[in-house]
Chains A and B, each alone.
Chain A
Amino acid sequence: MDKMPRWADVFLVPLISLTIAFLISGMVILGIGQNPVEAMRVMVTGALGSSYGWGYTLYYATNFMFTGLAVSVAFHASLFNIGCEGQATLGGLGVALVCLLIPWPHWSMALAAAMVASIAFGAAWAAIPAWLQAKRGSHIVITTIMFNFIAAALLNYILVNVLRPVGSMDPASARFPATTNLPELGAMLNAVGIPFAKGTPANISLLIALVCAVAVWVLLWHTKVGYEIRSFGKSQKAAQYAGINPVRITMVAMLISGGLAGMMAINTVQGEANRLLLNSVEGAGFIGIAVALMGRNHPFGVVLASLLFGFLYQGGAELALWTKIPRELITVIQGLVILFTGALDYMVRKPVEAMFVRFRGAR
């Protein structure tokens, strides 16, 4: 018998954790002599109070959806992919090459090609640690972390020595041709008659991320491969008994994970910047871990958690802009949210479980 109903597991526990995180954040803000209620108001109105704010919140959320899904898929195979940062970096390189080298007549073709390239590059970057894990037993946590550094160095080299336009001092690629620019979310919504601010970075990639979430759900719970990934993740010995090939599942799970992480680049590189920058991933690979944790490695949970972290990112930027609260405090708030929803999950879960058990016993 499960200890508590599903709704409590999925919604009540994260909600309590979140409330505690925000309360402590409020105390920190109080501690530096600022008004926490005012801070909260700035964050909410800045991130959610206007369609302009939503445009940014959804843009960040899109990044986290891709990386959160990537971490989740690997996690179901009991593989801790900390390398989304590097895989997304390489995905960006793939997108840039496709957009710069081939003259695309229409954005939709450019998008399709960029998706293929970002998946291929991200997956390839995940394939090496996966192979080392499957064949040599090198721990995937260590190798994926190392591959983040290699990816950063590689991109640095390529931007400075290969892709930097002649005469530019900036370690960035040239601007992509206008035909590769993706439709903005605002423009798309306006086209169907929904008013939405123009000039925000949210773009069609959001829809692709949502489609990916559904696809991951189908993959994990309705396909043989997903069944094998989950079996392998729960018990490698049992998976072997069932005839599941451990090398194949490690590779498949990490390739899917790396591909999803790489796809983040269509949102940042192609959708927003329109060129390849040195640090276009901006830590989204690591946020993906927190998002997956909070979303309980379920695609729909990941989507919800991504929206929360999108809100924190955008709200945090507003906070730094309009109040005297320093930018670093946002990192504190994000850290507290990760701490309470991820690391200290049991602290909330156990009492809630006990409460439900007692309640059930009383009946």
Chain B
Amino acid sequence: MNKPALQGAGGRQATAAPFAIELRGISKAFGPVQANRDINFAVPMGTIHGIIGENGAGKSTLMSILYGFYKADAGQIFINGKQTAIPDSQSAIRAGIGMVFQHFKLVQNFTVLENVILGAEDGALLATSLTKARKVLMNLSSEYELDVHPDALVEDLSVGHQQRVEILKALYRQADILILDEPTGVLTPEEADHLFRILRGLRDQGKTIMLITHKLREIMETTDNVSVMRRGTMVGTVKTAETDPAALAELMVGRKVLLEVAKGPATPGKVVLSVHDLRVRDEHGVERLKGVSFDIRAGEILGIAGVAGNGQSQLLEALGGIARATGQITLNGVELPLSGSGANGRARRAAGIAHVPEDRQALGLIMDFPAWENVAFGYHTSPEYQKNALILDNAAIKAETVAKMERYDVRPPIPGLSAKSFSGGNQQKIVVAREIDRNPDLLLIGQPTRGVDIGAIEFIHKQIVALRDAGKAILLVSVELDEIMSLSDRIAVMFDGHIMGTADPKTTDERALGLLMAGIAGEAA
């Protein structure tokens, strides 16, 4: 199949014009792993094209090939109908491709203007470039409703504005093709809507946009066409108007997926966790959690919504015994120490708190350890893992790992394989298996499905609901509003270290939550 699958599916423009991007037979292998296999697809000019796929499906590899970070093993790239070699990112920029990365590449203490011309200065003297750039920037900024002041310092800008600076950078380099990698992960719903307005404006001016995401809703709302990747291959390109989320999810995973979480009504019991005026300072002495109070009852999931970086991490760390805190934490009527020797992970586990950390690779796992050693991580002092006072019972840990891998469908089920060799979803399953299997009174779970593929998301959500139905208390922290809305029995929204308000997921909507996430106290409470 040499012909691109999209032939004739022209989106908004006639197909007579050459494609903005056309890939033919692109393949790329990393050692034994075939990251991209014979990828063929084309993006018509002046359209928004979605690329969707599970983690590890090869989206990022493909984009890196387009931007000159990797060299394809085979295949050709056509830009505007002309075959183009892209050996490095400079060539990509010359070919008119601009990239907005998931993690911004901005100099924090430079102004917007300085950031925009960085690497694209005209000559040795800065002043001439700056004057020229200022004019261009003002035009671009007003033309596309970007609303960024050229002299503002980047560190003073909100995340949404920083992203717009990245877009400006690409436009200043005269990009006609804009690639955005998971652009909404760090945005409030409000900021995301603004971003999509900007993108539509750019499209209407004739720019071509490629949007890489795993959020089906964004694809449905924004794109003209969508390509689905699965395990390194392009499984199909369709017009967005002619498809629906369920069909896309099935294409991504290769089987039918339950997008809604099936759960019955909660039957809350007695108060398990009571938090009063909890405060945490970070290592720079800045207060990040500024007096938070709430209760969680048995058999209840409390969801903490909020844009990343508004104190949710500190809340989890204080509860999990990692960060020092002031205030009061009471578990089953017993006050827990907040600093000193009793305030550590081991003591918290002994008290009945299990913790699935937000960053499983940095906190929850030792990536170089085999799976079985990770199954004991944090519980290595438990009596069932000891052969005698001195020696660990490695055989018992391995046997338990085999059992857990079976129960939680960890693939591949090899206890001796190092944690880093598992996919993100299976790493998370190892952590979830370790923590939930302890049958804790309180489960802290942060970003349970970040970087986890759809099939595993469904499974992890089921485990969380099952634990709730077993009468345990659960604190769920997630930046995915969909996840919070579908799992939680109650929602608390955090902003700037405070709880801005609480809401009932049955009666609230994303708009109301979005206002709270942006720090605007509203009627939702």
The answer to whether A242 has its CB under 8 Å from any CB of chain B is yes
Contact with A along B321-349 (1 / 0, CB 8 A): 11000000000000000000000111111
Find chain B residues with CB under 8 A from A235 CB: 362-363, 366-367
Docked complex Cα distance between A245 and B380 (Å) = 14
Shortest beta-carbon distance from A355 to chain B in Å: 12
CB neighbours of A361 from chain B (8 A): 29, 31-32
Q: Which residues of B from 346 to 387 have beta carbons under 8 Å from A?
A: 346-349, 355, 357, 362-369, 373, 376-378, 380-381, 386
* Count, A-B residue pairs, CB within 8 A: 76
CA distance A240 to B321 in the complex (A): 9
Q: Is B421 an interface residue (CB 8 A)?
A: yes
A162 interface residue per 8 A CB criterion = no
Q: Which residue of B lies closest to A240 (CB)?
A: B322
Q: Which residue of A lies closest to B368 (CB)?
A: A234
Q: Which of A220-228, A265-273, A313-321 contacts B (4 or more CB under 8 A)?
A: A220-228
Are A238 and B380 also in contact (CB < 8 A) when A222-B392, A227-B392, A243-B344 are? no
Residues of B within 8 A of A218 (CB): 391
How many Å lie between the Cα of A212 and that of B392 in the bound state? 19
Contacts of A341 in B (CB 8 A): none
Residues from chain B with a CB closer than 8 A to the CB of A223 are 390-392
Q: Indicate if B131 sits at the interface (CB-CB under 8 A).
A: no
Once A240-B345, A243-B347 are accepted as A-B contacts, the answer to whether A224 and B362 lie under 8 Å apart by CB is no
Tell me the complex Cα distance, A360–B31, Å.
9
Check if B243 is an interface residue, CB within 8 A of chain A. no
Q: Are A241 and B363 in contact (CB under 8 A)?
A: yes
B320 lies within 8 A of chain A by Cβ: yes
- A139 at the binding interface (Cβ < 8 Å): no
Number of B residues with CB within 8 Å of any CB on chain A: 35
Q: List the A side residues contacting B29 at CB < 8 Å.
A: 361
A contact residues around B31 at 8 Å (CB)? 3, 357, 361
> B345 to A243, Cβ gap below 8 A?
yes
**In the bound complex, what is the Cα–Cα distance between A218 and B392 (angstroms)?**
10
CA distance A178 to B97 in the complex (A): 83
Q: Could you mark each residue 229-253 of chain A with 1 if its beta carbon is under 8 Å from any beta carbon of chain B, else 0?
A: 0110011011011111100000000
Provide the residues of chain B in CB contact with A234, threshold 8 Å.
366-369
Which residue of chain B has its CB nearest to the CB of A225? B390
CA distance A231 to B366 in the complex (A): 7
Residues of A within 8 A of B355 (CB): 241
Given A227-B373, A242-B377, A360-B391 contact (CB < 8 Å): no
Contact of B381 among A224, A240, A241 (CB under 8 A): A224
Which of A222, A230, A237, A242 lies at the interface centre, i.e. has the most chain B CB atoms within 10 A of its CB?
Answer: A242
Total interface residues in chain A, CB < 8 Å: 25
CA of A245 to CA of B348 in the docked complex: distance in angstroms? 14
> Closest residue to A241 on the B side, CB-wise?
B363
Kindly identify, within residues 154 to 206 of chain A, every residue whose CB is under 8 Å from any CB belonging to chain B.
Answer: none
A221 to B393 Cα, complex, angstroms: 11
A window 318-363: CB within 8 A of B = 357, 360-361
What residues of A have a CB within 8 angstroms of the CB of B357 in the complex? 241
Give A223 to B380 CA distance when docked, in angstroms: 9
A228 to B369, CA, bound (A): 12
Whether B394 sits at the interface, judged by CB under 8 Å, is yes
Q: Is the CB of B363 within 8 A of A222?
A: no
CA of A255 to CA of B195, assembled, Å: 57
* Given A222-B392, A224-B380, A227-B376, residue A1 in contact with residue B421 (CB < 8 A): yes
* Complex alpha-carbon distance, A126 and B51, angstroms: 56
For residue A122, give the distance in angstroms from its CB to the closest CB of chain B.
22
Cα(A234)–Cα(B349), bound, Å: 22
Give residues of chain B (417-446) contacting chain A, Cβ–Cβ below 8 Å.
418, 421
Query: From residue A362, how far is it (CB to closest CB) to chain B in Å?
Result: 11
A241 to B377, CA, bound (A): 9
- Closest Cβ of chain B to A32, distance in Å, is 44
Smallest Cβ distance from A51 to chain B, in angstroms?
38
Smallest CB gap from B323: residue in A: A240
Q: List 17 A-B contacts (CB under 8 A).
A: A2-B418, A2-B421, A218-B391, A222-B391, A222-B392, A222-B394, A227-B376, A227-B392, A228-B380, A230-B366, A231-B377, A234-B368, A240-B345, A241-B378, A243-B346, A243-B347, A361-B32
Excluding A234-B369, A361-B31, 16 further A-B contacts by CB distance (< 8 Å) are A3-B31, A222-B391, A222-B394, A224-B386, A227-B376, A227-B392, A230-B366, A231-B369, A238-B362, A241-B320, A241-B345, A242-B345, A242-B346, A243-B347, A244-B345, A357-B31
Closest 3 CB pairs of A and B: A243-B346, A243-B345, A242-B378
Chain A interface (Cβ within 8 Å of chain B)?
1-3, 218, 221-224, 227-228, 230-231, 234-235, 237-238, 240-245, 357, 360-361
